[in-house]
């Protein structure tokens, strides 16, 4: 077992920040769940965990790439992870929008606000009767990009902290995914599975997710930093 000293506390702190970033990031990602898959609700048509894990994994790959080049530069590693996750989530939303617009034939529109907070376009006239929005409108797209940034940065921060402790990329990556998934699921329980982005009224539930993710990451993080690399 590795010793528990001041450096370890710093790593636990980094893991907690990472976990909180993941939990908060999930609230920004427009997830519509099954209704969105049928173009009857705003957001990408899949579950929070799939989107979060997808962008988190891409973030880890890009963070790992940066770590192999600059192993000591935390800022670069975290930024690289964030950019990877942002690319992943942006591509998902963009291609999703293509199929909503060109295949299903619906305009991307938000069901939660009357005017898009960014473009100021009116929303209600474009919502098909009986649905609560379609696709990924501009405000959700921007929100999703912020979510990818936070999720990717959080995931790579956890990865960076664990790599410094055990030095095994496979172990660190999967612990990062483990901590990532737990936080993403807790956060998605908080929004009951679907959210449009930061303009959604459910976004106000964020403090509860922060509390839960803090406690969960603290406990799991303490166990994770005690695992040595087999030296």
Partner 1 sequence: MSVAAGGGESKIDKTKLTMYGVGGGILGMYLAHVLNMLTGTGYFSFLAGLGAIAAVVMGADAVRRVCAYGIGTGVPSIGMMAMGMGLVAAMFGLAIAGVAGPIIGVAIAMGFGYLMGILANKVIKMNIPVMEEVLMSLGAAGAIVILSLSVVISGEINYLDMLNDVVFTGYIAIVFIAGALAILQPFNANLGPDETQDRTLVLAISTGALGMFAAGIGSLITVGVGGGVLTMLIAAAIWLKAFLWFFKLVKRDSAGVVGTGLLPEGGL
Contacting residues toward partner 1, per CB under 8 A: 1, 33-34, 47-50, 53, 168, 170-171, 174-175, 177-182, 184-186, 188-190, 192-194, 208-209, 211-212, 215-216, 219-220, 223-224, 226-230
Q: Which long-range contacts (CB under 8 A, 24 or more apart) does 71-79 make?
A: 71/163, 74/157, 74/160, 77/156, 77/159, 77/160, 78/153, 78/156, 78/157, 78/160, 79/153
Q: How far is the CB of 3 from partner 1 (least distance, A)?
A: 13
What is the H or E stretch that residue 57 is in?
helix 48-69
Instruction: Give ∠ CA 93-213-210 in degrees, rounded to 5.
Output: 80
Cβ pair 159, 23 in contact under 8 A: no
Q: Which CB sits closer to partner 1, 130 or 170? A: 170
Q: Which CB sits closer to partner 1, 89 or 185? A: 185
Q: How far is the CB of 88 from partner 1 (least distance, A)?
A: 17
Q: Which CB sits closer to partner 1, 110 or 190? A: 190
Q: Which CB sits closer to partner 1, 11 or 142? A: 11
Q: Which CB sits closer to partner 1, 23 or 142? A: 23
Instruction: Give ∠ CA 56-79-138 in degrees, rounded to 5.
Output: 70
Q: How far is the CB of 225 from partner 1 (least distance, A)?
A: 10
Residue tagged 């803090």 (tokens): 214
Cβ pair 191, 202 in contact under 8 A: yes
How many whole angstroms separate alpha carbon 109 and alpha carbon 171?
Answer: 42
Q: Which CB sits closer to partner 1, 127 or 226? A: 226
How many whole angstroms separate alpha carbon 101 and alpha carbon 38?
Answer: 13
Q: How far is the CB of 85 from partner 1 (least distance, A)?
A: 17
Q: How far is the CB of 70 from partner 1 (least distance, A)?
A: 23
Q: Which CB sits closer to partner 1, 67 or 142? A: 67
Q: How far is the CB of 174 from partner 1 (least distance, A)?
A: 5
Please tell me the chain's helix, strand, coil percentages from 3-state DSSP, rounded to the nearest 5: 70, 5, 25
Q: How far is the CB of 59 from partner 1 (least distance, A)?
A: 16
How many whole angstroms separate alpha carbon 161 and alpha carbon 71?
Answer: 11
């Amino acid at each position: 077992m590795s010793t528990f000293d001041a450096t370890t506390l710093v790593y636990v702190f980094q893991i907690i920040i990472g976990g909180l970033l993941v939990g908060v990031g999930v609230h920004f990602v427009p997830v519509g769940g099954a209704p969105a898959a049928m173009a009857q609700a705003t957001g990408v048509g899949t579950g929070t965990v799939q989107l979060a894990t997808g962008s988190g994994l891409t973030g880890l790959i890009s963070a790992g790439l940066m770590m192999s080049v600059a192993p000591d530069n935390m800022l670069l590693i975290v930024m690289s992870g964030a950019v990877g996750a942002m690319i992943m989530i942006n591509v998902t939303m963009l291609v999703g929008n293509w199929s909503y617009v060109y295949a299903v034939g619906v305009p991307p529109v938000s069901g939660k606000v009357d005017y898009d907070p960014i473009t100021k376009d009116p929303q209600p006239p474009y919502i098909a009767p009986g649905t609560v929005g379609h696709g990924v409108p501009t405000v959700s797209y921007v929100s999703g990009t912020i979510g990818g940034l936070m999720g990717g940065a959080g995931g790579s921060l956890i990865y960076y902290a664990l790599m410094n402790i055990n030095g095994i990329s496979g172990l660190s990556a999967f612990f990062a995914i483990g901590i990532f998934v737990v936080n993403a699921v807790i956060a998605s329980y908080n929004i009951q599975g679907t959210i449009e982005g930061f303009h959604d009224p459910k976004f106000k539930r964020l403090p509860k997710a922060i509390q839960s993710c803090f406690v969960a990451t603290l406990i799991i993080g303490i166990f994770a930093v005690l695992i040595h690399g087999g030296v």
